[in-house]
Amino acid sequence: MEFLGKLESVTPDLLALPGAHHFCIEHFAGYQSEPTSIQLQVVLLHEAGEIYTIISDHEFSASIDVNNLGDLTAAASKMSREPICLSRPFELETVSIQKPWGQEIWYSGIEQRGVSTVKNVPLPWLLSVFGDYLGCAGAPMLLKILAPFPAPNLGDLYFEMHEKKIEVYVVTQIDPKAWPTGSGKIRYGFNQDVISEFESVDRFRNSYQLSVNEYRLTRNEIDAQLKSLRTQQGLSPDNIVAPAVYNEFMAQINPELRDREERLRQSMYRHTNMLDLSIGDVVTVAPMVPHSLQHGVRVVEFQTPHYERYILSFGQEVLTQDHWDTESAMAGARTEIATPEPPVQLSPGLDLIADFDAFKVLRLMLDPGDSAQTQHTNYTIVIGVAGEMTLDDLTALGPEQAIFQAPKGALQFTNRGTTPATVLIAEENKPPL
């Protein structure tokens, strides 16, 4: 194994070198609570037409000497890791982010709150070192699952809006206890019938703002009591508590106050629009469209890696910031009718379900025994939705399993199972690196 010293970047020439090489590279971890530079130790191995790597933020043992995949595997094992094959798709490992309304499951998240991994290696390390080869030198598209609680209000997400972030939801589960008919909901934009009751859109905006202001006074009163109850139980005031505990606390709130909160919340939400959702439905969310996924509706979400939002309202205390953004959000919020873009069938079993400037998402559905090929220019992120498909006869994808695929002209999918299978394939809409 040859030691190359400290490198500024990984060049195509280096990636083409045969054998094993050890080098160092500086990585700036701007996503940490205290941003810092990390010197990464990297071993790169070519063997049998494949490219393998191990990455560590600790000095390698002086005795490390890698000449083949067996050596590399042994060295990785000492660090409780496995070699990563760069020339094949690699599985994205998840990190769970607890929310007042449930949880988010991140596959490609890179943020202070959580960092996704590949074989226990932080994803940003991998992209920092090999991003040019992988076709993603910056922040990747964010793939996550939204898993709200099934309880009404408690499991309803923030009614929020984004200036830059774009996202697409694909409904994968609807809790039958929350929605016995099988039809869930998302709060999406504003109620056009209510808007028509006013002489102008500005008066509608004022009415909504006033209803939010009135609700928030009662919300603050309840939240102050909930904080006190948390403190009495030895919990941090900002702790996210389990639904059962939250309900126990709410039961101790004066019934008149609870009734007032319910009445004012309904008056506030009267201004908003609700869409019905069934399993398989797709919801595209453009900038400036307020939205709130409702309780008991589980979705796969792709979005741009923007971490900005305006919170217009919420039926619980907001823990991530000390204010609501209703006034500033309503100044630019879209009040005209907002309708998600419908999927476009490209061929039997293949739909284009989202096509933004930043990225697009395909949905591929195959019956047992069928195969199909998709064409791509840039890196892709693929997640299984139903059944099981095999990618290029190498990687099996089941429900909620996701992989990162470096740029490759064509991807071959095959359903070798006994039931129909579905995958989602997201690709950035940009010139290739």
- Same domain (yes/no): 184, 264: yes
Number of domains in the chain: 3
Please tell me the predicted confidence (pLDDT) of residue 431. 62
- Same domain (yes/no): 150, 282: yes
Residue 338 lies inside a defined structural domain of this protein = no
Distance, CA of 177 to CA of 174 (rounded, Å): 9
87 by DSSP, 3-state: which? coil
- Same domain (yes/no): 245, 284: yes
The alpha carbon dihedral of 307, 136, 32, 302 has a sign of: positive
Distance, CA of 102 to CA of 154 (rounded, Å): 8
364-385: b (≥16 Cβ within 10 Å) or e: bbbeeebebebebebbbbbbbb
User: Where does a domain end: 140, 160, 193?
Assistant: 140
- Same domain (yes/no): 81, 60: yes
Please tell me the predicted confidence (pLDDT) of residue 33. 87
Q: Which class for 204: exposed (0-12), middle (13-18), buried (19 or more C-beta within 10 A)? A: buried
- Same domain (yes/no): 264, 206: yes
Please tell me the predicted confidence (pLDDT) of residue 253. 95
Please tell me the predicted confidence (pLDDT) of residue 62. 67
DSSP codes of every residue in 355-408: E-SSEEEEEEEE-TT-EEEEE-SS-EEEEEEES-EEETTTEEE-BT-EEEE---
Domain region containing 179: 145-332
Residues 6+ apart with CB under 8 A from 201: 195, 335
- Same domain (yes/no): 283, 386: no
Q: Which residue has the tokens 């990585």?
A: 27
Full pLDDT tens readout for the chain, 433 residues: 888 899 998 998 899 889 999 999 999 999 998 999 999 999 999 998 999 999 999 888 766 788 899 989 988 888 888 999 999 999 999 999 999 999 999 999 999 999 999 999 999 999 999 999 999 988 999 999 999 999 999 999 999 999 989 999 999 999 999 999 999 999 999 999 999 999 999 999 999 999 999 999 999 999 999 999 989 988 887 778 889 999 999 999 999 999 999 999 999 999 999 999 999 999 999 999 999 999 999 999 999 987 889 999 999 999 888 899 999 999 999 999 888 889 999 999 999 999 999 999 999 999 999 999 999 999 999 999 999 999 998 889 999 999 999 999 999 999 999 999 999 999 998 765 5
- Same domain (yes/no): 245, 313: yes
The CATH number assigned to the domain holding 280 equals 2.60.120
Residue 339 lies inside a defined structural domain of this protein = no
How is residue 326 written in tokens? 């209703």
- Same domain (yes/no): 159, 109: no
